[in-house]
Amino acid sequence: DAGVIQSPRHEVTEMGQEVTLRCKPISGHNSLFWYRQTMMRGLELLIYFNNNVPIDDSGMPEDRFSAKMPNASFSTLKIQPSEPRDSAVYFCASSLSQNEKLFFGSGTQLSVL
Amino acid sequence: GIQVEQSPPDLILQEGANSTLRCNFSDSVNNLQWFHQNPWGQLINLFYIPSGTKQNGRLSATTVATERYSLLYISSSQTTDSGVYFCAVALYGNKLVFGAGTILRVKS
């Protein structure tokens, strides 16, 4: 299996621009998670889906952040408008079900100038 | 919310040495996982271990859920073991809360 696939690997944008991060979970996995990693706050869960349905979005920092999972093989995390404090590594992860081993993608390094 | 404390915060080892990393958590959990983040940023799942003991090659882990701690053992360390080791726990499902990590550097 190819693992969790994220794109792009790096994104540099200017403040105010819209940013869209993409994720393809491992085939057959029913749970998908978006995490953000910063030096100050470590790894934080933003939102997770089970069977394509958002279950908990309490970690989404502001209304500028939104996530969708239109089907079992694709999810997006959108930031609009972006701000410099959004700069971080964003990870997508998936698991077979809600209480199984979690597998991470390679992450997207986002820099907002 | 649940608190996760990892120790030591950082560790330097000579190649071939053994080490023990500790994870303490503040509440009863039904999910505990150990991860290794390599120097390139990739997060690798090492163990899913809510209780008991597991071994995988030179690595092993033990979780004593009733006493709210888990240990990760690295034997005969190699330079490729360098990176950050994270413990993550969840009260339910996979809503994992990560500790701050232990930074490990193995010198040749």
Residues A70-83: tens digit of each pLDDT: 999 999 999 999 99
According to DSSP, the residues that pair with B91 across neighbouring strands are none
Residue in B5, B43, B47 to test binding to A, most A beta-carbons within 10 Å:
B43
Name residue A29's amino acid: H
Query: Distance, in angstroms, between B100 CA and closest chain A CA?
Result: 6
In chain A, which residues have pLDDT < 70? 1
pLDDT value at B1 more than 90: no
pLDDT value at B106 more than 70: yes
Task: For residue range B35-91, list pLDDT tens digits in order.
Answer: 999 999 999 999 999 999 999 999 999 999 999 999 999 999 999 999 999 999 998
Count of CB atoms situated within 10 Å of the CB of B80:
10
Contact residues on chain B for A102, CB-CB shorter than 8 A: 33, 45, 48, 88, 94, 96
B28 contacts: CB under 8 Å, gap ≥ 6: B65, B68, B91
pLDDT of residue A62: 87
Q: Would you call the peptide bond into A8 cis, given omega within 30 degrees of 0 as the criterion?
A: yes
pLDDT of residue A52: 96
pLDDT of residue A106: 97
Question: Residue A19: which of A11, A31, A27 has the closest Cα?
Answer: A11
pLDDT of residue A1: 65
